[in-house]
A = this chain, B = another copy of it.
Amino acid sequence: MQTPVPEYLAHVIDQCENNQTGKLADYIPELAHANPDQVALAMSTVDGQIYAVGDEDIEFTIQSMSKPFTYAYVLQQLGLDEVLDKVGVEPSGEAFNEISLGHDKRPKNPMINSGAITTHSLIPIKDQLESAEIIRRFMSELAGRELCFDEAVYASEIKTAYRNLSIGYMLRTVGILETDPVDIVNGYIRQCSILVTVKDLVKMGSILANGGIDATTGKRLLNRDVVRQVLSVMMSCGMYDAAGDWLTTVGIPAKSGVAGGILGVLPGQVSIAAFSPRLDEHGNSVRGIEMMERLSRDMGLHLMEGTPSAQTIVQSHYRTGKNASTSIYVLRGVLKFTEAEMLLRIFQGEAVDESTIVIDLTQISLIHDVGKRMFLEGVDRLIDDGHSVLLVDPEQRLEQARTHKDRVLHVYQNMDELLEK
């Protein structure tokens, strides 16, 4: 059997391919040489499965899509507070390249140029590497392959970087930049000239979708709170001057670049990247936007589409043994706060006596931190009530099997093993 996902993505491309509106970026001369008809679409699951169709191997410059990743890098290196001192998190309601600051002198957010240049200036220099090279290496690690600079685009953009230089000097004036703005702007432009394909983008995005862990290696590349910050800022500030419109209609944290790329990340679910060089008046890829909207609508990929959690965390509950003195709970699904709350509510039905309670976690697919803590709190309370509590947990998800009161729990591989005893 072939999975229908690539066909679906190809179908999405087909539907937008007739759209020839928009035009190539003209403010960077080199970008005007792109083939305007190119179009590509890719998707990655949180576990790292990548689907890609169209001109999936065409490299283009990452441009502004580099902003969330550089932001992630400096957050990871410096911590949230130090970065917030220099760059805010509020939507600007302005075009991405506006020459303006917030009332407190800080750039309003890291997704507009002033904020991104400031973010670039915060890269801690080490090993005598240039700042852009440090970011290239970081992005290469996220992408899982060695990325390169596009020297021609870099050289082309440097020549006419008047607007970014104006922003750089403005930031130097108010003390947000602390060194030569020309160097920093050059570094920022170099960062923007890193070459990626849509496959690279979804790979990089999948690490954000997966809470900071590279699913293919199991390695944590970004802290969970860094990822939360980056996605929050992409949500409220990523699509510039129409944050509210994007949130209501598409509902996917996203960032676009003037070379024609768009990257969207839905936490815990997927990352999506689209590419097509013709831009609308906001500098976003016309077809890219169209594809993102279609995917959100067709696949229910909207941040506010909160799937109602399982209302049946308890798959079955029965009593067995002498005088039906053993109560057996078979659980299933994901154990987060919501489910844990429900489970503990059900446990309230247990009388205060010395009966045995067996909880079978075999069919639980995932246990979240808060879910685990609440579960263990519930177990403690059952024991306090006089019960013996036995667990079936073949995958040993509770690791040390100790409650908050440090009681050691009896954990069995499966029900049969337990019943034998």
Contact = CB atoms under 8 A, between A and B. Distances in A.
Interface of A: 1-5, 45-47, 49, 88-91, 93, 99-100, 109, 162-163, 165-170, 172-173, 181, 209-211, 213, 215, 224, 227-229, 231-233, 235-237, 242-245, 247-248, 251, 253, 266-270, 298-313, 315, 332-334, 336-338, 341-342, 344-345, 347-348, 350, 352, 362-366, 368-370, 374, 377-378, 381-382, 384-385
Given A1-B381, A162-B172, A344-B4, A304 B244 contact: no
27 contacts: A1-B384, A2-B348, A3-B347, A3-B378, A45-B342, A46-B311, A47-B311, A99-B173, A162-B170, A162-B181, A166-B166, A210-B308, A213-B308, A228-B302, A231-B304, A232-B248, A233-B244, A236-B244, A236-B247, A253-B304, A269-B309, A269-B337, A300-B337, A300-B369, A300-B370, A307-B368, A315-B363
Given A333-B365, A337-B301, A309 B46 contact: yes
Most B CB contacts (10 A, CB to CB) among A209, A267, A302, A308 go to A308
Given A45-B342, A334-B310, A365-B332, A1 B89 contact: no
A241 to B, nearest CB: 8
A307 B366 contact: yes
The 10 closest A-B pairs by CB, nearest first: A268-B306, A267-B306, A166-B169, A310-B365, A333-B365, A90-B244, A89-B244, A166-B170, A232-B248, A163-B173
A227 B304 contact: yes
B210 A233 contact: no
A170 B171 CA distance: 13
Given A162-B173, A345-B49, A381-B1, A334 B307 contact: yes
Most B CB contacts (10 A, CB to CB) among A2, A213, A232 go to A232
A244 B109 contact: yes
A274 B231 CA distance: 27
Contacts of A348: 1-3
B334 A334 contact: yes
Given A173-B162, A337-B300, A228 B305 contact: yes
A172 to B, nearest CB: 4
A345 B305 contact: no
A80 to B, nearest CB: 9
Contacts of A46: 308-309, 311, 338
Nearest to A383: B1
A102 B163 CA distance: 16
A404 to B, nearest CB: 10
A337 B299 contact: yes
Given A169-B166, A181-B162, A333 B382 contact: no
Given A163-B169, A268-B308, A333-B365, A1 B247 contact: no
Contact of A2 (B162, B310, B381): B381
Contacts of A363: 315, 332, 363
A93 to B, nearest CB: 6
B345 A4 contact: no
Contacts of A306: 209, 211, 266-269
Contact of A169 (B169, B237, B310): B169
